[in-house]
Chain A
Amino acid sequence: MITKGPADELNHFKNSVAMTVTLISFGMMFSSLFLGYFLVRFNAPAWPPVEIENLPKLLPFLSTVVMGLSSWTFVLLERRTEKKALWSATFGLGVLFLVLQFLLWNSLAASGILASNGNVPSMVYAFTWLHAGHIVLALALVLWLGYLIFFRPTGLTDVKLINVGKFWHFLGVIWFLMYLMLFVL
C-alpha cells in the first residue's frame, strides 16, 4: 500500500519543510494568545480571579484524556497496518473532543460564566473557540485521509499520513498547554 523510494523521499523532504513552516505560523498565532494570557496573569491582583472560581474541572480533564488518546491512535495509524480501525478510533475521538468542548461551553454558560464577564472568561472562551476551529480544520483533513483509506488506498502515502499527523499532534500539544493555563495552574 505504501511505497518507499527515492522519489518518495524527495517528496517527503519538500513536505516536511512546508509543514514545519506551517506549524511555525500556527504556533506564532497561538503564542500571541498565550502572550496575552501571561500579560493578564502577571498584572492580575489575585489569581485565580473571582470570575472563574467555579470553572468546571471534569470536562476539560476528559477533553485532555480524549485528545491524548487520539494522538496515540494517530501514531499507531501511521505505523500499523490496521488502518481502517485505527482511523475510525482517531476520527471518533476527535469528534468526541468537539462534543466535550460543546458541553464545556454549555456548562460554563449554565453556571453564569459568559464571554463578556471579563478577561479570564474571555480567554477561556476565545482560546477554546480558536482551538476548536482548528480541530474542525484538522478533522476535515482526517476525513480526507479516511476517504483515501476506505476508497482509494493507492492514493494513501506515508507523507500524507505524517503531515496530517503533525498537525494533529500539534493541536494536541496546544490543547495541553491551554488546559494547564486555563484550568490547572
Chain B
Amino acid sequence: MAFVEQHIHDAPTSFWSKYVVSYDHKVIAKQFLWYALFWGLVGGLMSILIRWTLAYPGVPVPLIGNMLFPASGGVVPPDTYAMLFTLHGTIMIFFFITPLLIGCFGNYCIPLMIGARDMIFPTLNMLSFWFAMASGLVLFASLCIPLGGAAGGWTSYPTLSTNIGQPGAGQTMWLISLFLFGISSTMGAVNYITTVITLRAPGMGYFKMPLTIWGLWLTAILNAIFVPVLGAGLLLLTFDRVFGTTFFLAGAAATSGRGDPILFQHVFWIFGHPEVYILILPAWGIVSDLLSFFARKPAFGYKMTALSLSAITVLSTVVYGHHMYTTQMSPLLTQSFMTLTMLISIPSAIFFANWLGTIWKGSIQFHSPMLFSLGVVFVFGLGGLTGLYLASTSIDLYLHDTYFVVGHFHYTMAASVLLGGFAGVYFWMPKMFGRMMNETLAKWHFWLTMIGINGIFMGMMIVGYGGMHRRLYNPFIYEFLHKLIPINNFISYSAFFAAAAQILFIYNLFKTVFAKNYPAAGKNPWGVGTLEWEIDSPAPHYNFKDIPVVKCGPHEFGNPNLTTGRDYQYQTEELVKV
C-alpha cells in the first residue's frame, strides 16, 4: 500500500524555511493552529459584543467601547451589529473551526497516523496555508474600510448582499476572501484525499485506520466536491456586484432583467449543508478514537462507525432543501427533503450508540481529552435531537429564523466542534510540542466551559421557542418578547462566563508551548497504540525513520492475554489472540 516512495530530505535550518515557507506537514499544522487561535479570539470577541448589546441595549461597551465605536459613544450601532453577527459566523466557521480541525489536525494527524513521512504534495500543502493567509488578510482589511465589513449574514443572501443591501466594498471583499479560502480548502482536500489513498503504510488497510483519519478523509472528500459549488455562487454574486450581471437581482434591486435571489440560496445550501458535516466529521472521528483510548476498550462497532460516518457523508449531499422550507418550495420537495433529512438520524444513531457501547463498562480514565470527548457526546446528543424538530417541515415553519435554530446549530457545529477541538489540542499537545498541558487547569477549563456553553445554547433554544427571531438589534422593542429579557440576560452572562473560562486555556497553552525548563512528555504519555505514539515527542523531522508495517487495528485495548505489561497493543505488533 505504500504506493509511492518517500525520500528523506535534509531538515531546513534558516528561520524562514523552517517556520514561514515550510513544506513540513507538522509545521503547517502549527501555523494553522495559531491562525485558528487568532481568529477564534476575534470571532469570540465579536460574540461578546453581540451578547452585550442584547443584554444591555443602548449601554456603551465597557473598556473597549469607546475605542471601537467612538462615533456612538461606545454603544454598538445597529449596522455594526449586523456586521458583528455576520463576521462572527464567517470567522468562526471558516477562519477558526476549519483551520483548527482540518488545517491543524488534518495536517498533523493524517501523515503520522497512517505512517507516512509527509503529505503527498508538500508544496500544495504550503500553498494551501498561504492562500488561507491571504484570505484572512482580505477579511481583516474589510473590517478597516469606511463602510465596514460584510453585514448580510454569514449566508449572504441576496438581496441583503447585493449593492442595494450592502453598498461599499466590504461585502465584495468578503466574497473574495471566501473565494481564496475555498481555493485553500480545495488544495488541502486534494492533498488529504490523495495522501490517504496512496501513502498508507504497508498493512494499513482502510479498516485499520484510526477513526480520526476516517473523519478527516470524508471531510476532505466533501470539501473537494462542495466547496467549488460555493465558489461558483461567490463568483456570480461578485459579478452581480462588480460587473452588473443580474443573476440574483429581482424587483427593485434589478434595473433590468429578472434574476432570482432564491437561486443563490440553492447554490449556497448545496454547499452549506455538507459544510456542516465538513466541520463536524473530524470532531466525530477524534471523539470516536478518544472514547476508546480513555475507556481502555476497543471501539465498539469500529467498522459500523466508519460505515455510518460514510453513510452520513453520502446523505449529507441530498438534504440541503431543509434550509429553504420557507421559500415556497413545492410540498413534494419539502417532504422529500424532510424524509431524507430524517434518514440521517439512522446512521447518526448507529455511531452514537457505538460511542455509548465503547464507554460501557470501560475502565474510564477521566483525563482532559476524555472529559472534552464526553462533553461532545452530551452536546452533540442535544444538538442532534433538536435537529429532528427542525427537519420537520411543519415545525420548521414556526421555528425558522428563530433563536431555536441558532441554539441548535451552535450545539451541533459550534459546541461539539469546539469541545472536540479542545480534546484534540490537549491530546496531541505532547506529540506536537513534546510537552503535556497542565491537567488541573484543563479540567477546570472543561467544567467552566461546559457550564457556560450549555447556559448559552440551552437558553437560546428556549427564547427561540418563545418566538424570538435571530439577527434583531433590539428584540425588546416587541412587547411580546419582554418576558424573555431575563433569560436573554442569563444567556449573555453565560457567554461572558464561558469566554472568561477560555483564559485558562490560553494561559495553559502559552505556558506549555513557550515556558522555559518545562518537563518533557514521554513518547507515549496516554498509553495509546496508534502509530504516532511509537515515535519521539515532538515528532521528529520526516516522522518515521523506517516506514512502519501495520499489523493490527488502532484500538487494541484490554486484551487479558497481553504479555507486554501494557494494556494496549501498538499497531505494529502482531495481534494477540483473545
Supposing A14-B4, A25-B224, A25-B228 touch, asked if A115 and B259 sit within 8 A by C-beta, the answer is: no
| Structural contact, A28 and B225, CB atoms closer than 8 A | yes
CB contacts under 8 Å to B, within A34-66, are 35-36, 39-40, 43, 51
B227 close to chain A: CB less than 8 A? yes
Cβ of A10 to closest chain B Cβ, rounded Å: 5
Query: Which of A16-24, A92-100, A151-159 is the contact stretch?
Result: A16-24
B232 close to chain A: CB less than 8 A? yes
| Structural contact, A10 and B228, CB atoms closer than 8 A | no
Supposing A28-B226, A32-B228, A116-B244 touch, asked if A21 and B263 sit within 8 A by C-beta, the answer is: no
User: How far, in whole Å, are A55 and B296 apart by their CA atoms in the complex?
Assistant: 70
Cβ of A138 to closest chain B Cβ, rounded Å: 16
Nearest neighbor of B245 in chain A, beta-carbon distance: A122
Cβ of A159 to closest chain B Cβ, rounded Å: 12
- Chain A 151-174 against B: per-residue CB contact (8 Å), 1 yes, 0 no? 000000000000000000000000
Supposing A25-B224, A33-B232, A116-B246 touch, asked if A10 and B3 sit within 8 A by C-beta, the answer is: yes
| Structural contact, B224 and A21, CB atoms closer than 8 A | yes
Cβ of A11 to closest chain B Cβ, rounded Å: 7
Of A10, A17, A24, A28, the residue contacting B194 (CB under 8 A) is A17
| Structural contact, A24 and B266, CB atoms closer than 8 A | no
By secondary structure, the A interface counts as helix
| Structural contact, B193 and A21, CB atoms closer than 8 A | yes
Cβ of A160 to closest chain B Cβ, rounded Å: 14
Cβ of A157 to closest chain B Cβ, rounded Å: 15
User: How far, in whole Å, are A154 and B236 apart by their CA atoms in the complex?
Assistant: 43
User: How far, in whole Å, are A22 and B124 apart by their CA atoms in the complex?
Assistant: 12
User: How far, in whole Å, are A40 and B228 apart by their CA atoms in the complex?
Assistant: 20
The range of chain A's interface size is 35 or more
User: How far, in whole Å, are A29 and B231 apart by their CA atoms in the complex?
Assistant: 7
User: How far, in whole Å, are A39 and B256 apart by their CA atoms in the complex?
Assistant: 19
The range of chain B's interface size is 35 or more
| Structural contact, A116 and B257, CB atoms closer than 8 A | yes
CB contacts under 8 Å to A, within B154-193, are 186, 189-191, 193
| Structural contact, A10 and B4, CB atoms closer than 8 A | yes
User: How far, in whole Å, are A27 and B232 apart by their CA atoms in the complex?
Assistant: 11
User: How far, in whole Å, are A7 and B2 apart by their CA atoms in the complex?
Assistant: 12
Given contacts A32-B232, A36-B263, 20 further A-B contacts (CB under 8 A): A7-B5, A13-B3, A13-B4, A13-B198, A14-B194, A21-B190, A21-B194, A22-B190, A25-B189, A25-B224, A28-B229, A30-B232, A31-B229, A32-B233, A32-B270, A40-B260, A115-B243, A122-B247, A125-B243, A126-B236
- Measured CB to CB, the residues of B under 8 A from A are 3-5, 120-121, 186, 189-191, 193-194, 197-198, 224-229, 231-233, 235-236, 239, 243-247, 255-260, 263, 266-267, 270
- Measured CB to CB, the residues of A under 8 A from B are 7, 10-11, 13-14, 17-18, 21-22, 24-33, 35-36, 39-40, 43, 51, 114-119, 121-123, 125-126, 129-130
